[in-house]
Chain A
Amino acid sequence: MSDLEVQAGLAAQSRQSGPSRRLGVAETAAGVLALFLLVSAVVPQLLAPGDPLAIDPLSAFQPPNLAHGFGTDESGRDIYSRVVHGTQYSLVIGAVATAIGLGLGILLGTLAGMLGRVVDFTVNRFLEVLFAFPGLLLALLFIVIFGPGVVTATIAVGLSTAPGYARIIRAQLITVRSQAFVEAATVLGRTRWQILLRHILPNTLAPLFVLATLGVGQAIVWAATLSYLGLGAEPPTSEWGAMLSAGRTYITSAWWMSFFPGLFIVLTAVTATVLGRSIDRRMRHA
């Protein structure tokens, strides 16, 4: 569980508590799903008591049935258990990667927006070079250098999202910086740092947390992609991308092996997006 999600969750709850704010169908569904995913990530045993790694060769390749709701894989492992237990990987990777991207983005964006033309020019050209590569390619490059694994995949995804955040933060910063209240603070005799910390950053970052919620969904998809390519979580781990990759071989005979992990990747990304948009809308109206 990252701070980010807690904040997003709290923000969503406190906003929803208002009497005039009705929830739409999509928002309610997203809320229920988010709860399910959170429980899966924190206490997976509650929802799936079975062992996700328990092998049972006799019941391999079973299609969805009463005993195995999502079916079993080539070693007879219960896919439902694996999907539920895999939630923590995806959520943690998604949240941590977004946090890394956001942190770097804030740093770069603030440097560019606050430290004058030379720094702004340099940071901007650097960001443009990064933008020239598709994000995933950037992540691949990083993994090629530092070797595959969950940690490197997380950092790689974080790094590849940073330029986007940096650009948005810089633009937002420049808008906020030229607003009248910043000038008013100068007239009151505040120093540059006081103004940056008390006025500019809070007003820049508030809208960004909404964007970050949207970003978590994106990061989860990317992390799953890396695992699918065999560059993230290693096969026995019940990570969704890795499960997809394993199921690919049997996709014609055992569709459930790739369908359910894929479904959860999509559902998680959509949930994060719907919640992000909903928070965004509510903040705009607040």
Chain B
Amino acid sequence: MNGSVVFGDSAAAVTVRNLRVGFGSAEPVVRGVSFAVAPGECLAIVGESGSGKSVTARSLLGLAGTNARVSADRLELGGQSVLGLAGRAWQARRGKDVGLVLQDALVSLDPLRPIGREIADSLRLHTTLGAAGRARRVLELLDAVGLPEPELQVRKLSGQLSGGERQRALIAAAIALNPPLLIADEPTTALDVTVQAQILALLEQITGAGTAVLLISHDLAVVSRVAHRVAVMYDGQLVETGRTPEVLGSPQQEQTRRMVAAIPGDKPRGTRLSPSDGPDTPSGLTATGDSRAEVSPESTVVLEAIGLSKSFRRQDGTRQLAVDDVSFALHRGSTLGIVGESGSGKTTTARLLLALLAPDHGEVRVFGEPWSTTSEKTRRGLRASVGAIYQDALGSFDPRWSVAEILTDALHLRHERGAPHTTARLTSLLDEVGLAPTVLPRRPLELSGGQRQRVGIARALAGRPEILICDEPVSSLDVTVQAQVLDLLDDVQRERGLSLIFISHDLGVVQHVSDHIAIMRDGRIVEMGPAERVFAAPQHPYSAQLLAAVPRLRA
């Protein structure tokens, strides 16, 4: 590799040729990646966790890690090679030549320093501006990223800002020196959809102003909104690169096709999202909605919430209504989707339905019998018929237990090693959720995210429940794994005639799985009705706003 400065396409803000990154003596995690981003262009690198997209982005900042081996034929920022730069030389470039926006703004900002000082830092290090000049520039920046009343905001600590405001502050810090290239690594992943839409608009505006933006994301829908070009990364390589509409509209590669197909969005209810993996699963892409019990007003109500309210004491002593007069009915064999942004009270609702919390007012009835108003002792007899699936599958398992112990416990059996009836039941349970018996001796910590959630579903099914309450069951999964888990839930629902409460912040997922849908905001249900009707013609202004904010594939 020659170390001399190579002048390439002077037009490109960043040029990467044959980038390889490895750690220690292990196989490289980035294997020969090439791309270029022109000023005013947004390139998105999309891939699932472990595909190497973040490592690629970090290599452009010299932040791949101390034990990383980075090599490339060309690695240029603004036409100048940055290959082999050492610590101090990198410091001079970061911020000035390339800015970075990270996923979690809460941990990216110092909690004890006002955001104004945080933003002014890079100005102090890289410019000759005086204190007054810096202060003026910080206000300009905050204004540019759309933070209202910048004079008040500069003195706030990161903890006093909302998620969206923090992300804006972080973007302000990243663009403070007008770097020709901005790298945004999952910039909207932790945000609610309406806030996400605002941040995406801001990124679009920055691109429009002539900055090159490299967007790293796992979410194809987010990308389709802002990126001019998309590069799909898989196993350390770019498998497909092209203009966004073409890549998403007619994907050429298997991996891209799978990712596009896995997006639930407005695909009809019952459509399979993942390629079928065995002879015993129904063949892919056939609508099977007809086999589902038609929900008519006369059909049996299995779970009912009547005027539920729950408030919590705030730190200052006042009470906050987390759930406010929520009523709904779940019919046998159907799915009720509950959607809302963070703080809308959906998780509190789930906990009330599971009788982990007692409501202040109102009650929950299961099969028409009192549920929330009786004692835990009487409830315990019915517990088996109400199963739960959690967002954090790993946290919901006792860390000392193996999969076999978890499932045996759920089957109400004593742990007898090798007893045939137990093993047979465990195996059939695992088979139902698509896991091989080889996972039995392993602990959940050793399993992948998708496998963990499958074990979680197996545990919920072990007690032969009739109702499943799923609280964000797929939010922490990659999109193709999410597709498999959604398909699995669909299968078990059809086979066992289950009734589901499906809670999620992801409207696309909820739209795909739900017969009925309830939209929550500030603890209230603002709109409820058949899923198709609500998505086609939302009545409440908030529903309409929420639906409009959902990123859709723009192919």
Which residue numbers of A lie inside 8 Å of B, CB to CB?
Answer: 179-181, 183-189, 191, 198-199, 202-203, 206
Closest to B382 in A: A189
Do A184 and B399 touch (CB < 8 A)?
A: no
Do B356 and A187 touch (CB < 8 A)?
A: yes
**25 pairs, CB–CB < 8 Å, chain A vs chain B:** A179-B395, A180-B390, A180-B392, A180-B395, A180-B396, A181-B395, A181-B396, A181-B398, A183-B356, A184-B396, A184-B459, A187-B356, A187-B387, A187-B388, A188-B384, A188-B410, A188-B459, A188-B463, A189-B380, A189-B383, A198-B409, A199-B398, A202-B400, A203-B398, A203-B400
Instruction: Give complex CA distance A206, B392 in Å.
Output: 23
B354 touches A (CB below 8 Å): yes
B397 touches A (CB below 8 Å): yes
Instruction: Give complex CA distance A27, B178 in Å.
Output: 54
B-chain residues with CB within 8 Å of residue A185 when the two chains form the complex: 398
Do B400 and A189 touch (CB < 8 A)?
A: no
B386 touches A (CB below 8 Å): yes
Instruction: Give complex CA distance A188, B384 in Å.
Output: 6
- Kindly provide the distance from the CB of A196 to the nearest chain B CB, expressed in whole angstroms: 13
Given A181-B395, A203-B400, output 12 extra A-B contacts at Cβ < 8 Å.
Answer: A180-B392, A180-B395, A184-B388, A184-B459, A185-B398, A188-B409, A188-B463, A189-B383, A198-B409, A199-B398, A203-B398, A206-B400
Which residue in B380, B386, B400, B409 is a CB contact (below 8 Å) of A191? B380
> Chain B 372-404, CB within 8 Å of chain A: the 1/0 string?
000000001101101110101001111110000
B-chain residues with CB within 8 Å of residue A191 when the two chains form the complex: 380
Do B396 and A189 touch (CB < 8 A)?
A: no
Instruction: Give complex CA distance A249, B62 in Å.
Output: 67
A-chain residues with CB within 8 Å of residue B398 when the two chains form the complex: 181, 185, 198-199, 203
Which residue in B354, B388, B399 is a CB contact (below 8 Å) of A203? B399
Instruction: Give complex CA distance A188, B381 in Å.
Output: 10
Which residue numbers of B lie inside 8 Å of A, CB to CB?
Answer: 354, 356, 380-381, 383-384, 386-388, 390, 392, 395-400, 409-410, 459, 463
Do A187 and B354 touch (CB < 8 A)?
A: yes
Interface centre among B396, B398, B409 (most CB of A within 10 A): B398
Instruction: Give complex CA distance A265, B392 in Å.
Output: 48
A-chain residues with CB within 8 Å of residue B409 when the two chains form the complex: 188, 198
- Kindly provide the distance from the CB of B281 to the nearest chain A CB, expressed in whole angstroms: 28
Do B400 and A184 touch (CB < 8 A)?
A: no
Which residue in A184, A187, A206 is a CB contact (below 8 Å) of B397? A184
Those 10 A-B pairs whose CB atoms lie nearest each other, nearest first: A189-B383, A180-B395, A184-B396, A180-B396, A187-B388, A189-B380, A181-B398, A181-B396, A199-B398, A181-B397
A-chain residues with CB within 8 Å of residue B383 when the two chains form the complex: 187-189
A-chain residues with CB within 8 Å of residue B396 when the two chains form the complex: 180-181, 183-184
- Kindly provide the distance from the CB of A238 to the nearest chain B CB, expressed in whole angstroms: 43
Instruction: Give complex CA distance A184, B392 in Å.
Output: 11
A-chain residues with CB within 8 Å of residue B397 when the two chains form the complex: 181, 184
A-chain residues with CB within 8 Å of residue B399 when the two chains form the complex: 181, 203
A-chain residues with CB within 8 Å of residue B395 when the two chains form the complex: 179-181
Do B400 and A186 touch (CB < 8 A)?
A: no
- Kindly provide the distance from the CB of B216 to the nearest chain A CB, expressed in whole angstroms: 30
Which residue in B356, B384, B387 is a CB contact (below 8 Å) of A186? B356
A-chain residues with CB within 8 Å of residue B356 when the two chains form the complex: 183, 186-187
Do A189 and B463 touch (CB < 8 A)?
A: yes
A-chain residues with CB within 8 Å of residue B463 when the two chains form the complex: 188-189
B-chain residues with CB within 8 Å of residue A189 when the two chains form the complex: 380-381, 383-384, 463
Instruction: Give complex CA distance A188, B376 in Å.
Output: 12
B-chain residues with CB within 8 Å of residue A199 when the two chains form the complex: 398
Instruction: Give complex CA distance A198, B410 in Å.
Output: 13
A-chain residues with CB within 8 Å of residue B381 when the two chains form the complex: 189
B-chain residues with CB within 8 Å of residue A179 when the two chains form the complex: 395
- Kindly provide the distance from the CB of B463 to the nearest chain A CB, expressed in whole angstroms: 7
Closest to B394 in A: A180
A-chain residues with CB within 8 Å of residue B400 when the two chains form the complex: 202-203, 206
Instruction: Give complex CA distance A98, B397 in Å.
Output: 32
A-chain residues with CB within 8 Å of residue B387 when the two chains form the complex: 187
Instruction: Give complex CA distance A141, B410 in Å.
Output: 51
Instruction: Give complex CA distance A188, B397 in Å.
Output: 12
Closest to B392 in A: A180
